[in-house]
Amino acid sequence: MSAPIVSLESLTNATSSGQLLRTARSGGGVSSSCGLSSRPTDMDEATWEKINDHPCFSEEAHHYFARMHVAVAPACNIQCNYCNRKYDCANESRPGVVSEKLTPDEALRKVIAVANDVPQLSVLGIAGPGDACYDWKKTRATFERVAKEVPDIKLCISTNGLALPEHVDELAEMNVSHVTITINMVDPAVGEKIYPWIYYGHRRYTGIDAAKILHERQMLGLEMLTERGILTKINSVMIPGVNDQHLIEVSKWVKKRGAFMHNVMPLISDPAHGTCFGLTGQRGPTAFELKALQDRLEGGAKLMRHCRQCRADAVGLLGTDRGQDFTVNQIPADVAYDASKRHAYREVVARMREDHLAAKNEAIAMVASASIRGSLQVAVATKGGGRVNQHFGHAKEFQIYEASQTGIKFVGHRKVEQYCHGGWGEDATLVDIISALEGIDIVLCAKIGDCPRDQLIEAGIRATDAFGYDYIETAISALYAAEHGIDLLQATA
């Protein structure tokens, strides 16, 4: 059974380590360490050490840990057809977003300010706004400063891969533990439809020559990282009619070369962003097309389904962005590092995760053992901590879970506009939310009013707050049991 509720918010709002620990204990005690480990049984200890607090490399960790990006690397050496250079690197970020560019010194101040204030922070990433490996001097200067002043933070970069092989040794020396390469093709004939040109070795290349060089550099960089034990994630932008089927081949190539994780992201192409694909009418995939491709890729490298395509200056848990609370002009020049909040949070979270894991495993086993055909699609409003703990009207996204014969699995998220604004709901927004929830059977949230609930029902989507503050999987299994007339106690006996 799950332990009494300790809300993540109460933890993150606490101001001292003493308060943090008292908060945990006063909940009736999150189960103390009992020898359980949340490490998956099929993963070695060294890999687990690397991913257990990385919100992108572990789906489970993203409920508890946060990343921050510093936008120190604006220059780029290639052109992608889904990118407009006015904005951030669309290989990692939503196109059409501009981040506050920083010098390495400003970046260090920002990292210290966020580390002091956001207890969940575990990773610093450099994801543009151009290419972190091409704009290498600024990337390196930032990592060097941060590693010296804030040594207990993981370092992570995202790159298009062209300049990567030149810097792999330095990345290893600097203890950069996680690297993302965007790989959209392994066939230059596909690549030439995505990349009009690259700049390499003081020369500009176009067409198939450009795609061929990029492909070779990406594969070489990936192999070099694998040889050095640096964990790699491959981002691929799914472009219907261009590389969607081809990504199955990409998945095989990168798995063979040691990629730990594959993250297929939807192309976002809006003519207003001024990208080539946006202007030529190239569409992005629907949520169903994306999920269908991800399902086909199961069995290759571990699949990431929880990416939020964050900004190059994002701060906080995935799905939330506190970047605007930490703009450089708000940070004192002499800010000093204080790790106490983050360390206290880690102690508490370690125990919460064990409790969550036990509840989750129990719930998944129950659903799998029921052996019922068909599936239940569930949208969950959550603020983190693995619980159903957000009001329907406050949600800016819903996490999507599928319960079926194979258990309960996280399958993605759907972004929405916030419905409730200080006590009143926006009708037009509700229409958009209902459309974003197409195909969902039921919404789980901490609270929902009669008006949105009735309108959801009219659209064929049920909604309930009966499982508010339960663990997500526990709530889904109870729901699943109720739907199928299963006696929960007997099923788990």
Pattern 111-140, ligand CLF, x by CB under 6 A: ------------x-x-x-------------
Smallest distance from the beta carbon of 314 to ligand SF4, in angstroms?
15
Q: Which does 91 bind (CB under 5 to 8 A by kind): ligand CLF, ligand SF4, none?
A: ligand SF4
Identify the sign of the CA torsion 176, 180, 181, 186: positive
90 binds ligand SF4 (CB under 6 A): yes
The piece of 42-50, 305-313, 371-379, 407-415 that touches ligand CLF (CB under 6 A) is 305-313
Determine the Cα–Cα distance for residues 72 and 103; give it in Å rounded to an integer: 6
Please tell me whether residue 78 binds ligand SF4 under the rule CB under 6 A.
yes
Closer by beta carbon to ligand SF4, 91 or else 122: 91
Using CB under 6 A as the binding rule, whether residue 312 contacts ligand CLF is answered as no
Q: CA dist 344 to 105, 315, 464, Å?
A: 27, 20, 34
Burial bucket for residue 252 (CB in 10 Å: 0-12, 13-18, 19+): middle
In the chain, the amino acid numbered 209 is: D
Q: Is there binding between residue 76 and ligand SF4 (CB under 6 A)?
A: yes
- 389 near ligand CLF (CB under 6 A): no
Is residue 158 close enough to count as binding ligand SF4 by CB under 6 A? no
Q: Is 266 in the site for ligand CLF (CB under 6 A)?
A: no
Q: Does 236 bind ligand SF4 (CB under 6 A)?
A: no
Show the site string, 164-203: x = touches ligand CLF by CB under 6 A, - = not: --------------x-x-----------------------
Residue 90 near which of ligand CLF, ligand SF4, none (CB within 5-8 Å, type-dependent): ligand SF4
Residue 21 tokens read as 């620990």
Taking CB under 6 A as the criterion, the residue among 3, 56, 150, 472 binding ligand CLF is 56
CB atoms within 10 A of CB 493: 6
Scanning 22-30, 62-70, 123-131, 183-191 for contacts with ligand SF4 by CB under 6 A, the matching segment is 123-131
Q: Are 348 and 32 in contact (CB under 8 A)?
A: no
- Per-residue binder mask for ligand CLF (CB under 6 A), 224-243, x = binder: ---------x----------
Closest to 97 (Cα-Cα) out of 263, 265, 273, 307 = 273
Nearest Cα neighbor of 200 from 92, 71, 76 is: 76
Counting contacts by CB under 6 A, is residue 378 touching ligand SF4? Answer: no
To ligand SF4, the closest distance from the beta carbon of 74 in angstroms equals: 9
Q: Which residues bind ligand SF4 (CB under 6 A)?
A: 76, 78-80, 83, 89-91, 128, 130-131, 160
Q: Which residues bind ligand CLF (CB under 6 A)?
A: 56, 67, 69, 92, 123, 125, 127, 156, 158, 178, 180, 233, 263, 307-310, 318
